[in-house]
Each structure stands twice: as structure tokens, then as C-alpha cells.
Structure 1
Amino acid sequence: MSTFLRYFLLILAAASFVYPFVWMLSASLSSESELGNLTLWPVGFTWANYVTVFSKIPLGRAFVNSVLVAVITTGLVLISGAMTGYALARLQFRGRNLIFYLIIFTMTLPFQITLIPNYITMVKLGWVDTYFALIVPFMLNSLSILLFRQAFMSLPQALIDAARLDGCGELRIIFQILFPNILPTVLTITILTFMGLWNEALWPLIVIRDEPTMTMPQLVTLFSVGGRADGQLTVKITAAVMLAIPIIILYLFFQRHFIRSMASSGLKD
């Protein structure tokens, strides 16, 4: 009975998470008049909503922009986070712990606090309506630094000493010797960073006004609230489904690595 109850609760919890998206998918394939039917199968099946979305907004260009920004920024986060985390974990210098605690402190600050200073910086640098405004403010991530530091501290010092004896420089030690030993941490940072960047809509809404440079979340948000959808709820839902599909496909391909990396990575002293 206890096993049955456990599985029943788990299935119920899973259904409560899956149902809203399944309903969204069904609604995107239904006509506007049949939207009120909360069924899991499209009523009045039609592709017209998807045709409307693609005809009213440049979704393809926005998709390319989102992929470009997310991939480049994720790569920079991995590089900068690994270098900073390695320095805080293995290099001896004055003020190392103070710097680490300051980085941890920044994790407690809401993004909205630094929103205006960051925007003013983008204006001063002339980066508004450019890809630099979407990439540079996110290229250094405090969570990635924390995870890399803890991962590097868990590795034996003898591994680093042996690499130095073989003539390896610090960068080669980080990316060629240590990276293969902390793959769960690398995958965790990669997945979380990419998903966070893909779903980011507030910052692009502030710094990007040129439509060819807009990301997919920004364009979908403006489409839904800006009047282009002409008040058609099914069209708005369709745009939201289009935004979610790439992340779902990505998860389906990497779900095994995602679960393994989340289970294996941790904060070790």
C-alpha cells in the first residue's frame, strides 16, 4: 500500500506539471472559439495559429539571435568561471577569501538592483541595440565561480603538481587536465546557464529596440502584449509554445546528462 501511495503521489505531481504545457500545445492547434474546452486533444484542429505567428513576427531571426547569444555567453561563462574558480581554489594570494565572500554576497542581490547601473553602462559604452549588451553583462556568473571553485578544491593537489612538472601552464592545467575530471560540474553550469539565457526577457526588453537584434523571448513578449496578436489568445499561446519547444528538445537530448550532472555535482569543502 505504501508503494502504491508513493507512486500515485509521484504520478499526480508529474501530471500537475505536464498538464499545463500539454493543454497549451492543444490550444495552439485549436481554433479561437474552442479555446475554452480544457481538453488534451485539439478541438477544431488547425495550423492557422502557427502561420499567423510566423507571418506577423520574424521568429526565425529571433531564434538565431537567441541561439547566438546563449551559446557565446555560455562559453564565456565556462571560461571565466573556470579561471576565477581555479584562482580562488588553488592559487595563494592575499585577500582570496575576501574576494570569494564578496562574490557569494552578489548572489544574494536581486538582478533588478543592478538593472539601472548596467543600463547606464551600456548607454555610455554605446552598446544599446547591439549583441554586446546581451552578452557582456552575463559573461561572468557568480554561481559558476562557486561551483568551479568547489569542484577544483575536491581534486587532489598532486594532479596539479604533476601537470606543472610536465611543463603545463595554468590555462592548460585548467582546461586540459582538470576539466575532464569535473564534467558533471561543467554540464551543470552549461545547462543552467543556457536555460537562464534562453529564457531571459527583461534585460533584452531594456537594451534592445531594433527588431532584427531582438531575442526570441523578447519578441514573443512584445508580440503578446504589444498588440500584434490582435487579442487572439490562441495566437499568444502558440508564440509561447514556440518559445518553449527548443528548450524541451534540448532537454530530451541531454536529460540523462542533466540528471546525472545535477545529482553528481555538489558543494564540497
Structure 2
Amino acid sequence: MRRALAGKAALYVVLSLGAVAFLFPFWYMVIGSLQTDVDTSIRGAFPDPGNLTLDNYVAIDGRIDLVQGLINSGIFTGGVILGTVVFGVLAGYALAVLHWRGRGAVFALALLVQVIPFQLLMIPLYVMIARDYGLSDSYLGMILPFFINSTAVVIFRQYFLQLPADLFSAARIDGAGEFRLLWSVALPLVRPALLTAVLLTFIGPWNEFLWPFLITKRADMQPLAVSLANFISNVAASTSNPFGAMMAGAVVLAVPAVTLFILFQRYFTSNDLGSGVKG
């Protein structure tokens, strides 16, 4: 009993130390965004309360429009998530449940696409979207290259493969069509996959810099990540506390992603597949 308790205590100590090490950069970022006088040493993580202020947030909002940047990031990210979920669900269902010639080849192609770096496709995509389609400085131009995500297709396919085939057979006997099967039978049972795809997809476009930077030149169209990069490169030195202003912008950019993960991380471990096969 003592050995078990000691092992459990040691486990909790190790996990606690890991949690502190993981959270410390976020703590340092928040504290840095609130400092009046910059202290970039390790002591800066534990500042004097009299050295804390919200002026850094006011300063960066005066240089770049934080609200408009968040709106642009939200539109960009929301469009990518919409395409990822809709096409991921449809393609994953077709690859897992339906039987048609060439299904294995299409799945192999989806896997192959994942090993091609996006940077290799960026120049042709830019030429096609900006010159041929005329979609530069537009939300659609930002969203299109990320609208279909092969990773999400693989995730949904694997979840759909776990569903008992008897569920679909019974529903087809009752006269349900494929779209009814997908909406009423499959989707309710793969809710963890939906949330996983949304959360994993959210992080990418929300923090994406290079493609929006290439495709948008208007400041009022740029996502917050691009606006912050431009601030750091061009006007950060014009503020009284460049370090604090940059940290303030980073906090604003990180808060939505961290909040989303905290709210929905418990669903990663949930699994409702068993409820569909209980007699």
C-alpha cells in the first residue's frame, strides 16, 4: 500500500512539474504584456504589482486594429473549418462506408497529399488565385487553399470505420438513404471526431501567417497574425514599450485558441460508439 501511494505521489509530482513547465511560457507572456517597465529576465515573471498596467494593450490597439484583426482571423478560420468539416465528413463517409471502384486509390492519394509541403504549392497557388481568379485581398482567396483538408478526411474515415456495419444495414432496411444515414446515424456517433477536426483545424488558420501575408496587402483585410508580424517589423520601435506591446498582441491572438481548447478538451476522451450497439 505504501509503495502504491509513493508511486502515485511521485506521478503527481512529475505531472505537476510538467504542467508548470508547459504553462510557464503562457504566464510569462501574460505578465510581459502587463509590465510598464520591461524586465526580460526570469525575475520578470514575478513582477512588482505596481509595475502592472493595461497601457500595452492600448498602445498596440492604437497601431493596429485588434478587433478588425480578430474579425479577419475569425472569418478566415471559420471558412476553413466549414470546408474541412463538410468535405471531410462527406469524403470520409464515402471512403469508409460506401463501396465503389477506386476507393483504395483515392484514400492512398489522400495520404500522399499529406507528405507534400504546402510551401511547394504556394507559388503556383498564388499565381492561380491572385492572377487567374483575381481573388487577392479577399477572404475567399485566403480560404480556398485550405478549404479541403486531407488530414480531416483520414480522421473521419477512421472514425466511420469503427461504426458497426449492422447499424447501416438496419437503417437501409428501414428505407433510409445515404444522406439520412450520414446525418441521423453516423454523425451523432462520431462527435469526438467532429470536435477533434474543429480544434485541430482551428489552430492552423488562426496562426497562419505566410499565405495571408502573400495574398492580402490591405491592412484592413489581414488576419491578426499578419498584423502583429507587420507591427513587429515596422512600427514596434515607435511605442514606448515595444516588448510589452508585442506580448499584448500575442495574448490577444492566443486567448481564443486557448479558450476553445479548455472548453472542449474533455470531449477528446469521450466516445459514444457503444451507445449505438447496445441492445
**What TM-score do you get using the length of structure 1 for normalisation?**
0.90
Q: Which residue of 2 aligns with 1:251?
A: 261
How far apart are 1:33 and its partner, in Å?
Answer: 4.0
Query: After the TM superposition, which residues 90-101 of structure 1 pair with which residues of structure 2 at under 5 Å, given as runs?
Result: 90-101=97-108
Choose which of 128, 131, 135 in structure 1 pairs with 2:143.
135
Q: Which residue of 2 aligns with 1:237?
A: 247
Looking at structure 1, the residues matched to 71 and 206 of structure 2 have their Cα atoms a distance apart, in angstroms, of 11
Structure 2: distance between partners of 1:207 and 1:151: 35
Q: How many pairs align?
A: 263
The amino acid of 2:44's aligned partner reads L
Q: Distance in 1 between matches of 2:65 and 2:45?
A: 30
TM-score (norm 2): 0.87
In structure 1, distance between residues paired with 2:143 and 2:48 = 39
The corresponding residue for 2:66 is 59
Percent same amino acid among aligned pairs?
32
For 1:33 and 1:154, the matched residues in 2 are separated by 54
Aligned alpha-carbon RMSD (Å): 2.1
Q: Note if contact 2:195-2:264 (Cα within 8 Å) is conserved in structure 1.
A: no
Give deviations 1:209-246, integer Å, cap 9, x for gaps. 11111111111121122334537111111111111111
- Paired position in structure 1 for 2:18: 13
Q: 2:44 aligns with which of 18, 30, 38?
A: 38
* Cα distance in 2, alignment partners of residues 212 and 264 from structure 1: 43
Unaligned stretches of 5+ residues in structure 1: none
Q: Deviation at 1:81?
A: 0.7
1:184 CA drift (Å): 1.1
Which residue identity does 1:113 align to in structure 2? L
Structure 1: distance between partners of 2:151 and 2:65? 34
Match of 1:48 in 2: 55
Aligned equivalents of 1:29, 1:16: Cα separation in 2: 21
Question: In the alignment, is the contact (CA less than 8 A) between 1:208 and 1:214 conserved in 2?
Answer: yes
Q: State the alpha-carbon separation in 2 of the partners of residues 34 and 193 from structure 1.
A: 35
Cα distance in 2 for residues equivalent to 1:47 and 1:133:
36
In structure 1, give the amino acid aligned to 2:259: I
Correspondent of 2:30 among 3, 25, 29: 25
- Which residue of 180, 188, 212 corresponds with 1:180? 188
| Contact map agreement 1:201 1:218 (CA 8 A) in 2 | yes
Conserved? CA contact 2:29–2:247, under 8 Å:
yes
**In the aligned structure 1, how far is the partner of 2:157 from the partner of 2:9?**
42
Larger C-alpha radius of gyration, 1 or 2?
A: 2
**Structure 1 contact 27–234 (Cα < 8 Å) conserved:** yes
Unaligned runs of 5+ residues in structure 2 are 1-5, 274-279
1:130 to partner: Cα distance: 0.6
| AA partner of residue 81 (structure 2) | T
